[in-house]
Every structure is written in structure tokens, then in C-alpha cells.
């Protein structure tokens, strides 16, 4: 999904602070060297260097007048020089061999009548050294604090963190709305932003309030990033992208400085688009309910500040993506910030067909490819799944040495992508196989008998890596926006049909039905608590739904008593559906056996084959 990102990485973007850091270091070192040499110069310029033997000669000849021991050298005055007026005196120095016992030497010299200076162990270079360090730290800290103040606080770590910001900038995304299939409503909402980026002055002239940001809301893989890129592409402006999770680091203050950095970079090249993926990572509500976090709060505050702060007449538009708008902090959604929410839905039949067309544009397809059929079979798949599917199909065609992709490639890849890859080598015992076969046929047969039409495209007992031992692929003939209570009950019966078959045939229950039971329970609960489909509660909805988008979370909002009633009603509904499914399968036991046996032999049967079994006895009557 993010494969484009790395290609567009501009390593230079986040590096400025690091350069400053090294620059500072170089300056410090240079200063130290200069200070050192100046001191050495000052120290040595007053004296003339001599060799140690010259000094010893003076000592032997008794021509020494005065001697002074320093840290690493001996400074001395000869009698000849000492006789001169003070201003014309010339002192000499020589290195002091390490390990010299200066006290003993001083004693010897003194007894020979030489004045030994009091500064005998006073250490002039230590002073130099201390001074050097003081200056060094002074420069380092002074520079650092200047640097961090410039970048927005956060201490020294701020500069370290900022240098690693994973921000990507694309001068041109090269993506246009043509590359985004479907999503017409989203495109329409974004059209205005594009117009604005083309011509910010037009809006400013009228005094229209300019949009600062929009929030793209939708499940993963529905094309939010793609849409944002397309907006940049259509408006022909640079595209900055960063993920919300990149802001959140261990060190307090790093996130905030990254936010500041991002907006600073963007301001330089405006008009442009800033895209923040997974904004929920930073934009999570500051309520304690979701766990407080200082770093995240600080980052969010900085983000809010930047959004309020930038001058939108310059043409910066901030797009953000999330699949959990309900956990976002309310402050982010206030007018003037991300007040526009653009829903990016999972594609419907037409949308899936268009997406498949977009992704097969550059792929050689053989004659037998029927994208319409594939689109029908992929209900629930998002754009990313479909893109992946097409690519897998192309890879399969290459593996098999063909020139073009055929329908089989597409169907097989569909299974790979949607249901995991076939694991032919996973061995099921014969009993297990029989159980799986009956379970799957149980689902399919209930559905077929209830709907009086072909309910599935395929039933298989070939295990998949996803963990499903077998599965039944349902085929919605038409896109449904409304469902009647009868249809929902049929769905419930179909879901529990697997377990019903297990009980009828083997008199036992298996773990394979766990997922069915969960789905059935969720559906039954929704029917009772949200759709007003139970007698006991009538039209009362004992839950409040927190957000309308996506598969919404509902929270119970009623008395304990009502909650208990809900549970009882769910149980009752499921029990009723289960016993009806069981009755239905018992009445059609022969059919069940027949189809299950066939499935056991062939491992995979199609919807048409299933219908042939069911319609046979009907025709005979």
C-alpha cells in the first residue's frame, strides 16, 4: 500500500538540524585549537627556548640566577641577563623531563645559590585547560539552546529527534483522479480544494473563508492516500506526507518539533498539500478515557497551533486520513481545522469494476477475462485488495509462462488475496474432512433452500493459510442497501447452518463454528438493539451508536434490566434460527449427504453444481 513512499524519499528534508549540530561541533573544535595556540604563543613568546643541555651547562658553570618550575618546563634567567635592566631581560626555557623530582632539583639549585621561584609547582597550562573546557561547554550549550529554541523546544533530544523525521515530499505525484476509480462523492468534495490550490487569490479576493483541511475517513486500503495524492496531482502542487505514528516518539517534545518542521518546510514551497496518514495516532482524544500521554498531547497541541497559525491564503491544504474518526479529539474537528469530513467508502459493484479496470489498464488480458464477474465475486474487497489481486494474477501468468492474464489467474489470485493461499499439504484426517464438508454444505444448503436461488459461487474444503478449513463464497446478486427482517433471518439461519449440520450428522459440535457463531450473535444483537426487530423491546434502541461511518461501535445505553432482556432476546432469536435450520436440514438429509459426498470427492464445487443437486428432485416431481 505504501510501496511508493520510499522512492520519493527526500533525505535532505529532515536534515537541517543535524547539519547545524555538526557545524557547531566543528566551530567548537576550531575555537579550542585557536585558544590553545594563542595561549602557547603568549606563553612562549616571552621566553627563548633552549636545550636541556644548555640549561645543565648553565647550572654546572654556576651562571644561573633564577629558576622557575612550571608544569612541563623550566624557565630560567642567567646571571648575565639578570644584570640587565628588567625591561631588557631575556628569559629562557627548556622542557622538564617527566619524572623529575622537582623538589630535589630545587634543593640542589638553592644550595648552589640560585633563586628558585615560589611558583614551583604552579601549573599554568592547567589554567589554560580549564579555560578551554569552560569555553568549549559554553559554546556547545549556548549553541544548543539557540538551536532548540529555533526548532521549538524539547531540549537537546529535540534536535536528535528532528533529524530522523520520516517526512516525504514529492514535487509531482503524477497521480490524477483518473487513477482513482469510483469515489465520485469524495472526488467532488475535493474538487473545490483543487480549485483553491490553483488559484488561492480568487478566494482571497472575495474574502471567502479558505479551507484549511479535510479529513478522509474510511477503512484501510480504500484509497485515502491515493486520493490525497491525486488532489496534489490535479492541482499540480508538491505533496508532503507523514504518518501520524511518526510523530509519536519516546521523547517528549520530539513530536511537536516534527510538526513545526513539517509546516515550516511546507510554507517554503506553498501552495502544497500536507498529508497526515493515521492522524488518530496523534489526534486521539485527550480524554483520560483513552489513556493520557503527555507527548501525544503536546504534539496534538502543536498541530492545532500550526493549523490555526498558517495563512491559508498562501495555499497550504492539510489533508488527514483515519479509519477511526470517533476517537479524534473534538478540537481537531472544530471549524477552521478539519471541519470537512470526506467519507471514502468501500467500493460497490460498479466501484470494484472500475478499480479492476484501472489496475488492468497496463496488463495484457486474454479474451476470456470477465471483470464484471470478478467484481461480483469480490463484494467487500477494498481497492488495495483488488490492486493486489490483479498483480498476483499477472505474476501467476508469468510463472506459468503465458503471455496474458486469463480468468483463471484472476480467480485463483482472488482466493490467494481474499482467503489466503491454498495449503494443499495441510493434512486433515478423513473424519475432519467429512466434518468440514458437512459443515460447509450445511451453510450452503440452508441458504439455497431459503433463497430459492444460487446463494454461493463456490464451496471448498481445501484448507487455507488464513486458518479457515473450508469456506463458502457467497454471491450477492445485487448490491443491497436495505435488508428486510426476513432476509436477515435467512442470513442468521445460513450462519448457524454449519453447526446444525454437525449436530445432525455427527451428533457433536466442533470448534470450526466459532466464527459463524460470533457473526450470528453480532447480527442478532444489531437486529434487536438497532433495527427494532424484536417484540420484547419493540422500537426502543437500547444502544447509542457513536459514529455513523464504518462498522460502528454501539454502546449499551439502558438499564441493567433492559440489557438482560436484550441478552435473552438475542439468545431466543438465535435459538429459533438454529432449530429452524436444523429442521430444514433434517428434512433434506438425503440432499445434504449427496452434496457432502460430492464435495468430499471433488474438494471444491461451484454454485452451479450445487444448484444442479437441489433442482434435480424438484424437476422430477
Residue number of the CB closest to Zn ion reads 498
Binding test (CB under 5 A) with Zn ion, winner from 246, 516, 569, 580 = 516
Q: Which range in 23-31, 459-467, 495-503, 546-554 contacts Zn ion by CB under 5 A?
A: 495-503
Shortest spacing between CB 35 and ligand ADP, in angstroms: 56
Shortest spacing between CB 414 and Zn ion, in angstroms: 20
Shortest spacing between CB 452 and Zn ion, in angstroms: 22
Spatial contact of 392 and 384, defined as CB atoms under 8 Å apart: no
The site partner of 516 among Zn ion, ligand ADP, none (C-beta below 5 to 8 Å per kind) is Zn ion
Q: What does the alpha-carbon distance between residue 617 and residue 621 come to, in Å, rounded to a whole number?
A: 7
Shortest spacing between CB 435 and Zn ion, in angstroms: 11
Q: What does the alpha-carbon distance between residue 347 and residue 326 come to, in Å, rounded to a whole number?
A: 22
- The yes or no reply on residue 295 touching Zn ion (CB under 5 A) is no
Binding test (CB under 5 A) with Zn ion, winner from 498, 524, 529, 580 = 498
Spatial contact of 255 and 147, defined as CB atoms under 8 Å apart: no
Q: Is 57 a catalytic residue?
A: no
Q: How many CB atoms lie within 10 A of CB 196?
A: 21
221 or 455: CB nearest ligand ADP: 221
The site partner of 159 among ligand ADP, Zn ion, none (C-beta below 5 to 8 Å per kind) is none
392 or 516: CB nearest Zn ion: 516
329 or 491: CB nearest Zn ion: 491
358 or 461: CB nearest ligand ADP: 358
Spatial contact of 215 and 320, defined as CB atoms under 8 Å apart: yes
2 or 487: CB nearest ligand ADP: 2
Residues that bind ligand ADP (CB under 6 A): 1, 180-183, 218, 220-226, 321, 355, 358, 383-384, 387
180 or 210: CB nearest ligand ADP: 180
DSSP symbols for 20-44: HHHHHHHHHHHHHHHHHHHHHHHHH
Q: What does the alpha-carbon distance between residue 223 and residue 213 come to, in Å, rounded to a whole number?
A: 18
Catalytic site residue from 170, 234, 249, 440: 440
N- to C-terminal Cα distance for the chain? 55
Burial 439-451 (b: 16+ CB within 10 A, else e): bbbbbbbbbbbbe
The site partner of 355 among ligand ADP, Zn ion, none (C-beta below 5 to 8 Å per kind) is ligand ADP
From the list 589, 614, 610, the residue with the least C-alpha distance to 473 is 610
| Strand 91-95 relative to strand 73-78, pairing | antiparallel
Longest Cα–Cα distance of the chain, Å, equals 144
Spatial contact of 522 and 476, defined as CB atoms under 8 Å apart: no
Shortest spacing between CB 463 and Zn ion, in angstroms: 14
Checking phi first, is residue 380 left (phi over 0); if not, alpha (psi -120 to 50) or beta?
left
Residue number of the CB closest to ligand ADP reads 383
Q: What does the alpha-carbon distance between residue 393 and residue 404 come to, in Å, rounded to a whole number?
A: 10
Q: Which range in 345-353, 481-489, 493-501, 561-569 contacts Zn ion by CB under 5 A?
A: 493-501
Shortest spacing between CB 388 and ligand ADP, in angstroms: 8
Q: What does the alpha-carbon distance between residue 198 and residue 475 come to, in Å, rounded to a whole number?
A: 45
From the list 363, 408, 404, 410, the residue with the least C-alpha distance to 389 is 410
Residue given cell 561547554 in the structure block: 137
417 or 605: CB nearest ligand ADP: 417
Shortest spacing between CB 413 and ligand ADP, in angstroms: 15
> Which residues inside 29-88 make contact with Zn ion, applying CB under 5 A?
none
Residues involved in catalysis: 440
- Interacting residues with Zn ion (CB under 5 A): 498, 516
Amino acid at each position: 500500500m505504501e510501496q511508493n513512499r520510499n522512492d520519493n524519499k527526500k533525505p535532505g528534508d529532515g536534515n537541517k538540524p543535524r547539519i547545524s549540530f555538526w557545524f557547531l561541533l566543528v566551530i567548537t573544535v576550531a575555537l579550542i585549537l585557536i585558544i590553545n595556540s594563542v595561549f602557547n604563543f603568549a606563553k612562549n613568546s616571552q621566553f627563548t627556548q633552549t636545550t636541556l643541555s644548555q640549561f645543565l651547562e648553565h647550572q654546572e658553570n654556576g651562571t644561573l640566577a633564577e629558576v622557575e618550575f612550571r608544569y612541563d618546563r623550566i624557565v630560567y634567567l642567567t646571571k648575565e641577563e639578570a644584570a640587565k635592566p628588567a625591561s631588557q631581560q631575556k628569559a629562557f626555557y627548556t622542557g622538564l623531563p617527566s619524572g623529575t623530582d622537582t623538589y630535589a632539583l630545587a634543593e640542589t639549585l638553592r644550595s648552589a645559590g640560585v633563586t628558585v621561584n615560589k611558583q614551583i609547582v604552579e601549573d599554568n597550562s592547567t589554567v589554560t585547560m580549564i579555560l578551554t573546557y569552560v569555553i568549549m561547554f559554553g559554546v556547545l550549550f549556548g549553541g544548543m539552546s539557540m538551536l532548540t529554541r529555533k526548532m521549538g523546544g524539547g531540549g537537546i533530544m529535540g534536535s536528535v529527534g528532528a533529524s530522523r523525521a520520516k517526512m516525504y515530499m514529492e514535487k509531482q505525484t503524477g497521480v490524477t483522479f483518473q487513477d482513482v476509480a469510483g469515489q465520485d462523492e469524495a472526488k467532488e468534495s475535493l474538487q473545490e480544494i483543487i480549485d483553491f490550490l490553483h488559484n488561492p487569490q480568487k478566494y482571497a479576493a472575495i474574502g471567502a473563508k479558505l479551507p484549511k483541511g479535510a479529513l478522509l475517513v474510511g477503512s484501510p486500503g480504500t484509497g485515502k492516500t491515493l486520493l490525497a495524492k491525486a488532489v496534489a496531482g490535479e492541482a499540480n502542487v508538491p505533496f508532503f506526507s507523514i504518518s501520524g505514528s511518526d510523530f509519536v516518539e519516546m521523547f517528549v517534545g520530539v513530536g511537536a518539533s516534527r510538526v513545526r518542521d513539517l509546516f515550516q518546510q511546507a510554507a517554503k514551497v506553498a501552495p502544497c498539500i500536507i498529508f497526515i496518514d493515521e492522524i488518530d495516532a496523534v489526534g486521539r482524544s485527550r480524554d483520560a478515557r483513552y489513556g493520557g500521554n503527555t507527548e501525544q498531547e503536546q504534539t496534538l497541541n502543536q498541530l492545532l497551533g500550526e493549523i490555526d497559525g498558517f495563512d491559508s491564503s498562501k495555499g497550504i491544504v492539510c489533508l488527514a486520513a483515519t479509519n477511526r474518526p470517533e476517537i479524534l479529539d473534538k478540537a481537531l474537528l472544530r471549524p477552521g481545522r478539519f471541519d470537512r469530513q470526506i467519507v471514502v467508502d468501500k467500493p460497490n459493484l460498479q466501484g470494484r469494476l472500475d478499480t479492476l479496470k484501472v489496475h488492468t489498464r497496463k496488463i495484457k488480458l486474454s479474451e476470456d477475462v470477465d471483470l464484471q464477474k470478478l467484481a461480483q465475486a469480490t463484494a467487500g474487497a477494498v481497492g488495495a485488495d483488488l490492486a493486489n489481486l490483479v498483480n498476483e494474477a499477472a505474476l501467476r501468468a508469468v510463472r506459468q509462462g503465458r503471455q496474458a492474464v486469463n480468468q483463471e489467474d484472476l480467480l485463483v489470485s482472488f482466493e490467494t488475496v481474499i482467503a489466503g493461499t491454498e495449503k494443499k499439504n495441510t493434512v486433515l484426517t478423513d473424519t475432519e474432512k467429512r466434518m468440514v464438508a458437512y459443515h460447509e454444505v450445511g451453510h450452503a444448503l440452508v441458504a439455497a433452500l431459503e433463497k430459492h436461488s444460487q446463494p454461493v459461487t463456490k464451496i471448498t474444503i481445501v484448507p487455507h493459510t488464513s486458518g479457515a478449513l473450508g469456506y463458502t463464497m457467497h454471491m450477492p446478486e445485487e448490491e443491497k442497501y436495505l435488508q428486510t427482517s426476513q432476509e436477515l433471518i435467512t442470513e442468521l439461519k445460513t450462519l448457524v447452518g454449519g453447526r446444525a449440520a454437525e449436530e445432525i450428522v455427527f451428533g457433536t459440535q466442533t470448534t470450526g463454528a466459532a466464527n459463524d457463531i460470533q457473526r450470528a450473535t453480532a447480527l442478532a444483537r444489531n437486529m434487536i438493539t438497532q433495527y427494532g426487530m424484536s417484540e420484547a423491546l419493540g422500537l426502543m434502541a437500547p444502544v447509542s451508536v457513536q459514529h455513523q461511518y464504518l462498522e460502528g461501535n454501539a454502546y449499551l445505553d439502558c438499564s441493567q434490566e433492559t440489557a438482560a432482556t436484550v441478552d435473552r432476546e438475542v439468545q431466543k432469536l438465535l435459538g429459533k434460527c438454529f432449530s429452524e435450520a436444523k429442521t430444514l436440514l433434517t428434512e433434506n438429509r438425503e440432499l445434504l449427504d449427496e452434496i457432502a459426498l460430492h464435495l468430499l470427492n471433488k474438494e471444491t464445487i461451484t454454485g452451479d453444481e450445487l444448484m444442479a443437486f437441489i433442482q434435480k428432485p424438484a424437476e422430477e416431481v
